[in-house]
Amino acid sequence: MVAKDKFSKESFFASPLYDFLSPFRPVANQYYAEYVIVIFALVIRCAVGLGSFSGENASPMHGDFEAQRHWMEITTNLPISQWYWFDLNYWGLDYPPLTAYHSYFFGKVGSLLSPTWFALNSSRGLVTPDLKSYMRFTVIVSEAALYIPGVIYFTKWFGIKRRQSPIGTYIAAAAILFQPSLILIDHGHFQYNSVMLGLTVYAINNLLDGFHGPAAICFVLSLCFKQMALYYSPIFFAYLLSRSLFSPTFNLPRFTSVALSTIISFCIMFSPLYVFGGIQNVLQSIHRIFPFARGIFEDKVANFWCVSNVLFKYSENYTQDDLQRFSVYATAVGFIPSFVLMFLYPKKHMLPFGLAACSMAFFLFSFQVHEKSILVPLLPITLLYCSTDWNVLSMVSWINNVALFTLWPLLKKDNLTLQYVVMMLLSNWLIGNFSFVTPRFLPKFLTPGPSVSDVAETYRRRSFLPDNIFWKLTIVTSYIIMGCVHYLDMFVQPPKALPDLWVLMNCALGFSCFGLFWLWNYYKLFDMRNKSFLEF
């Protein structure tokens, strides 16, 4: 009885993931579970990769796929001094240097296989099946090398610390690895977010293990891969500073190691630019990385500026500089409380909440936000699948669905409708959100039940919904509105005057859900400051 109760208390009890992984419960078999999860995660990524990518057959500018391919083309063919200057109107390089080195590496390897893929100028807009496969392959390799091991280590660390069963931690790892938004953006739309996010997870892992210098290095690398990692920087800064200054006492060696590793790794990252192009080259790269000349938001995105723009036309009343100032103030107001909390209470189990609060503030209020930027706050939120608190898990599951929903206009443009639907179903079904709909009308011998686990035949897992009635209503209402927006989008033409009406509704819903979640997240962060690890 005792043993059974122990199993049934697990957070994903009776979900399909629990069912699939329960044969691996005996100690001798646990070793397999990790491989099985990782390989299936890769198989799903390969299968999503069969679909189209952004800008397929869209001359002359194409999309992110072409941008990444073009960067491989410039980095492999041009000297470093020209990387940030070459033909800036056609997908000029505007990511930090590590992206450039990453492109250089995969560009060189790819040129070994076929020199035409990345030939200077002549390869523009090139798409062959083999090139597509190669590019998809590079994303999978990058993710398998960085993001996946990082996540698995994180879940194991939390699992051991909280005396979870190993299978419980593997289930959490699988839930995190099957997060649909990242899969669809990286392997469908085509980007390398998993590299940046993977390096951030490594930084978190190092903090968990108490290696502060290496954590700083990993975070700097993450920042040097994609500037979006800046959304996390206040929390890392607060945590590292607080740990070095007064937690528990002033620690000079730690302080120096963090400071030195940060400075040195930044220097190493930018030094090739300096050595081969002088200070001008470095300044140009920074100018390219932070494009303040662009608008306050791009396309339609579920953040404050885009949504409130409907009521109040910012661009007609304010100059670009004013808007920049406003966004800086708003963002600062948004993230400073999390910064202060993290500085005063630098606890390990607060890290995911702190990172989520801070990066969500950036997403909601900062300047020049893309819809894809939601992946940044989504990473620490998704890492909370390690929690055993039903309410936390429910909120995480909800916000993952909302985030996926806000990516819908983008994915629709990329022709990834099928992949969107399948991934939404799969990710929810795996964690047991659809267990309540299992059909009963089938003949008795086919009535779905557990495959191999010890769950009773008649037992149905409840979907993830918090206990609080307010949240329950909010979440269910938001799901209903999502369904309606999808219905309208599919079958009803928007009015002539407002061609983007459905997209705007999507953004408005996304913004309100993210905002509410953000407030809840702040409440949790505040609530957690004096709690111990086990109550997490």
Q: Does 126 bind other proteins (CB under 8 A)?
A: no
Q: Does 108 bind other proteins (CB under 8 A)?
A: no
Q: Does 436 bind other proteins (CB under 8 A)?
A: no
CB of 25 to other proteins, least distance (A): 12
**409-429 core/surface letters (b: 16 or more CB in 10 A; e: else):** bbbeebebeebbebbbebbbb
Residues touching other proteins, count (CB under 8 A): 64
* Binding residue (CB under 8 A) for other proteins from 7, 91, 192, 363: 7
Nearer to other proteins by Cβ, of 244 and 419: the residue is: 419
Question: Site map for other proteins, 450-479, x if CB under 8 A?
Answer: xxx-xxxx-x-xx----x------------
C-beta of residue 160 within 8 angstroms of C-beta of residue 205: no
Residue 40: Cβ-neighbour burial (10 angstroms; 0-12, 13-18, 19+): middle
* Binding residue (CB under 8 A) for other proteins from 90, 101, 318, 429: 429
Tokens, residue 523: 């409440």
Q: Does 175 bind other proteins (CB under 8 A)?
A: no
- Restricted to residues 127-156, the positions that interact with other proteins (CB under 8 A) are 129-130, 132-134, 136-137, 140
Q: How far apart are CA 497 and CA 408, in angstroms?
A: 22
Specify the 3-state DSSP secondary structure of 300.
Answer: coil
Contacts of residue 126, defined as CB under 8 A and 6 or more positions apart, other chains included, come to 69, 116, 117
CB of 282 to other proteins, least distance (A): 37
CB of 152 to other proteins, least distance (A): 16
- Restricted to residues 379-418, the positions that interact with other proteins (CB under 8 A) are 390, 418
Q: Does 49 bind other proteins (CB under 8 A)?
A: yes
**Helices 501-528 + 320-344 axis angle, to 10:** 30
278: left (phi over 0), alpha (psi -120 to 50) or beta: left
Q: Does 30 bind other proteins (CB under 8 A)?
A: no
C-beta of residue 364 within 8 angstroms of C-beta of residue 515: yes
CB of 426 to other proteins, least distance (A): 5
CB of 16 to other proteins, least distance (A): 5
Q: Does 46 bind other proteins (CB under 8 A)?
A: yes
Task: State the SS3 of 493-514.
Answer: CCCCCCCCHHHHHHHHHHHHHH
Nearer to other proteins by Cβ, of 462 and 531: the residue is: 462
Taking Cα atoms as reference points, which of 403, 371, 352 lies closest to residue 172?
Answer: 352
Q: If you count them, how many residues does the chain have? A: 536
Instruction: Give the interface segment with other proteins, choosing from 1-9, 154-162, 255-263, 524-532 (CB under 8 A).
Output: 1-9
Q: How far apart are CA 383 and CA 372, in angstroms?
A: 18
Instruction: Give the interface segment with other proteins, choosing from 44-52, 56-64, 80-88, 507-515 (CB under 8 A).
Output: 44-52
Nearer to other proteins by Cβ, of 62 and 136: the residue is: 136
Residue 85: Cβ-neighbour burial (10 angstroms; 0-12, 13-18, 19+): middle
Interface with other proteins (CB under 8 A): 1, 4-5, 7-9, 13-14, 16, 19-20, 23, 29, 32, 35-36, 39-40, 42-44, 46-52, 112-114, 129-130, 132-134, 136-137, 140, 390, 418-419, 422, 425-426, 429-430, 438, 445-452, 454-457, 459, 461-462, 467
